[in-house]
Amino acid sequence: MTTTRSTAHRVLWLVQWPLSIALFLEGLFKAGLAAGDLPARLQLASGAPSGPLGLAGGVEVVLALALVLPAATRFLPSLTPVAAGCLALGLSSAALGAGLPFGTGVAALDLGVAAAAALVALGRVTAAPIAAVELGPEHVDPFRRPWPVQAAGAPSRAAAGSRRGRDTDGGSIAA
């Protein structure tokens, strides 16, 4: 590993962990508030629905965990830039859509966090990707087929090999 790549890994981890912790706590806050407390705590209109905000909080919690856990465990590390990209897109749209009515300070904060998430997404794809862990031969991937997929009705290799040299009615074929 070159020193540039090592430095990129360190910088990305220094951005990923605080970003993940902050978004995790913010998501818990949004998802955990009672419906009656939402308008008062977040300065929303009294008739504002609380369901979408709770759902957004739950999505933030899941994405915050997906920001660090796949890369830290090296199990499906390609989910990390996907989660970071989703967070960047969601936070930038929230800043432009819902953040502006609260003032430019809230929108600027959301855009700053979205920029950090975009940095992680871009960095984990280009500058410092994380390789998946190599599992031993005892690991069986349920999504990987150990044999090639054959068309329906086509004879398998084993069946074709056992009939080599014989016709289907018992006669001999020139091989």
Contact yes or no for 110/99 (Cβ under 8 A): yes
Please give the single-letter amino acid code of residue 39.
P
Cα separation, 53 vs 65, whole angstroms: 19
What is the model's pTM? 0.69
| Domain layout of the chain by residue ranges | 3-127
Please report the sign of the dihedral spanned by the C-alpha atoms of residue 89, residue 65, residue 40, residue 106.
Answer: negative
Q: What is the pLDDT along the chain (175 residues), one digit of tens a residue?
A: 577 888 999 999 999 999 999 999 988 888 876 555 665 666 655 555 667 778 888 999 999 999 999 999 988 899 999 999 999 999 898 888 766 666 677 788 889 999 999 999 999 999 889 888 776 666 555 555 555 555 566 665 555 555 555 555 555 555 4
- The amino acid present at 81, given as its one-letter code, is P
Q: Would you call 135 helix, strand, or coil by DSSP? A: coil
